Amino acid sequence: MTPVGEVRASSPVGAFRTAIEIATAVSKGNLSAREVIEEHLASIAAADGEIHAFNEVTSRAALDDADRVDRLVAAGEDPGLLAGVPVALKDNLCTRGAPTTCSSRILAGWRPPYDATVVRRVREAGGIIIGKTNMDEFAMGSSTESSAFGPTLNPLDRSRVPGGSSGGSAAAVAAGFAPLALGSDTGGSIRQPAAMCGVVGMKPTYGMVSRYGLVAFASSFDQVGPFARGVRDAAMLFEAIAGHDEADSTSLDRPAPAVTTLLGGGGNGFRVGVVSELVDAASADVARRVREAADLLASCGSSVEEVSIPMCVYSLTAYYLLAPAEASSNLARYDGVRYGLRVDAPTAEQMTTATRSEGFGDEVKRRIMLGTYALSAGYYDAYYARAQRVRTLILEAFNAAYERFDVLLAPTTPTTAFALGSKTNDPLAMYLSDVCTIPSNLAGHPAMSVPFGVGDDGMPVGVQVLAPALAEPVMFQVAAVLEDGSPPVGHGAVAAERSPAHGGTAEGTSG
């Protein structure tokens, strides 16, 4: 793991603190938010030139926000749950006045006139936005290679992808650039890169977190969720952003569930099902880790059984018709009139066509085409309408499984992180890397990826915990048991966090 060593050696001591440690120390006045931000900016400056986790580092605003938090603490006021904690934002979350590009040429330089609800909530909780992270263009991709601004490299092995589409957020957390990040998950875009970078990534129940200010990809799938180096940190960020928002018509009318208080340690008596079809879709080393995770849960007092959900095999197909169909409609707004790129042409229609043809990359064009075709006269019934009905059957199949099980266990990804460039010319092969994460998006259910040991190549493996709608509390409890019993992840960031007195950081400074 030489690359991790390099990252760690060049990172200041504080860059691998947990979010909980930072928030606790800052609210007590034992650590200044400014110092925290300065340490993380130094880490970014040292290593992000190569990793390219960020499209934009908002240094000045972050330092101003840190000073504001420090003033609140000095004045004896409550700075909030995330006091002084740096948070990296996927570049499809609107930040007022700061560039929000979706890693697309068509939005390059756009400064939104409003903040996304999750951004506002992070700030209100005392969290500090440190930058905007790279992603697959408009979140369409599984490797962060479709970014118009170049790929992000996996901090653990720079010849590999970090996964995607929220690859920049996952890499930022793994590299110690920020203890927390937000991403969006439409078909696995939080969980898949979390697994490949050896961090925790979580997709909430559809409607649990506001989508207001998240640039839309596929509106019936998109959810915003947290990345962290540990389950408890992820739970804290989830609590900060979840809950009803009247600005999102699909927002659930309920408060955020309390999860952090449940994670004291140990969890017993869960009914756990291991989804055979998803385990079968994975390589042998990844499948072995999932079985070890199941054994761990059994040894901690849960009942564990294999469960077959044959409808799973149709998830990928249904998703790759429905999501592009929604995308083709959502991306119709990029017409060169109100924001973003315009390529001049004599008539409005020619201008729109020229703008879109120059502004969108190949993968985005491909999905718009696929979606437009699936929705077009003559094919609607064969593709879109059929996929919507298959979606119903998948949802019913999972709901039936949850009558017998509290949570389901599966791999997050079929393989560990793959080599840069290895799938860019074969869209179908790229799409297949989402096969284990898509079912939860079709069903609208929560799911999260927890690092659990490494594969044969030494790269981290993610085990996925799937739960029924609104069952985030039990999902986090199971995830915490997995985290506490995980085999070594061989990953500097996580190892550092686990060791009680930051044992790992000493080696960082000596290097």
Partner 1 sequence: MRFKDWYGAAEGAYLRLAGATRRVVVAGLSMGGSLACRLAADHPEIAGLVLINPFIEPPAESFREILRATLAAGTEIAPAVGSDIAKPAISELSYPGSPLAAALSLFEGLDDLVADLDRISCPVMLFSSRQDHVVPVTTGDFLMERLKVPVRRTWLEHSYHVATLDYDAEIIESSAVAFAREVLDGVAGQESTPAARSGAVMESHEGLAVERSAVRERRVEAPAARITIEEVAHVARLARLSLSNSELEQFTGQLAAVLDHAADMDRVDISAVAPTSRPLPVQNVMRDDNPHSSLERDEVLSQAPRVENDRFLVPRILSEGQ
Determine the interface stretch with partner 1 among 1-9, 63-71, 312-320, 500-508 (rule: CB under 8 A): 312-320
Using rule CB under 8 A, residue 193 touches partner 1: no
**3 state DSSP class of 157:** coil
Residues 205-234 close enough to bind partner 1 by CB under 8 A: 205-207, 220
Minimum CB distance to partner 1, residue 249 (Å): 6
Pairing of strands 407-411, 271-275: parallel
Phi-psi region at 260: left, alpha or beta (left = phi > 0; alpha = psi -120 to 50): alpha
Q: Which residues are CB-contacts of 472 (< 8 A; sequence separation ≥ 6)?
A: 204, 205, 208, 238, 257, 259, 446
| Cβ(26)–Cβ(83) below 8 Å | yes
Among 60, 269, 428, 510, binds partner 1 (CB under 8 A): 428
Minimum CB distance to partner 1, residue 78 (Å): 27
* Nearest-10 Cα torsion for 235, 140, 109, 119: -20
Q: Which residues are CB-contacts of 359 (< 8 A; sequence separation ≥ 6)?
A: 104, 105, 106, 334, 336, 340, 341, 343
Among 263, 281, 293, 463, binds partner 1 (CB under 8 A): 281
Among 82, 341, 467, 495, binds partner 1 (CB under 8 A): 341
Using rule CB under 8 A, residue 353 touches partner 1: yes
Determine the interface stretch with partner 1 among 22-30, 79-87, 178-186, 359-367 (rule: CB under 8 A): 359-367
Cβ distance to partner 1 smaller for residue 179 or 340 = 340
Using rule CB under 8 A, residue 158 touches partner 1: no
Among 13, 45, 393, 506, binds partner 1 (CB under 8 A): 393
Q: Which residues are CB-contacts of 44 (< 8 A; sequence separation ≥ 6)?
A: 53, 54, 57, 130, 131, 177
Residues 113-142 close enough to bind partner 1 by CB under 8 A: 113-114
Any idea what DSSP says for residue 215? P
Using rule CB under 8 A, residue 305 touches partner 1: no
Place of tokens 């092995």: 157
Number of residues that bind partner 1 (CB under 8 A): 86
Tell which residue, 393, 10, 384, has the closest CA to residue 176.
10
Residues 34-63 close enough to bind partner 1 by CB under 8 A: none
| Cβ(40)–Cβ(253) below 8 Å | no
Minimum CB distance to partner 1, residue 245 (Å): 11
Minimum CB distance to partner 1, residue 244 (Å): 10
Residues 443-472 close enough to bind partner 1 by CB under 8 A: 443-445, 469
Q: Which residues are CB-contacts of 382 (< 8 A; sequence separation ≥ 6)?
A: none
Using rule CB under 8 A, residue 427 touches partner 1: yes
Any idea what DSSP says for residue 86? E
Residues 243-272 close enough to bind partner 1 by CB under 8 A: 246, 249-250, 252-253
Determine the interface stretch with partner 1 among 28-36, 106-114, 150-158, 292-300 (rule: CB under 8 A): 106-114
Place of tokens 């409003």: 114
Minimum CB distance to partner 1, residue 243 (Å): 15
Distance CA 175, CA 47 (A): 8
Give, in order, the Cα–Cα distances in Å from 330 to each of 10, 333, 503: 42, 6, 48
Cβ distance to partner 1 smaller for residue 74 or 332 = 332
Give Cα 396 distance to the centre of its chain.
26
The residues annotated with a catalytic role in the active site are: 90, 165, 189
Determine the interface stretch with partner 1 among 210-218, 266-274, 423-431, 499-507 (rule: CB under 8 A): 423-431
Determine the interface stretch with partner 1 among 34-42, 71-79, 178-186, 306-314 (rule: CB under 8 A): 306-314
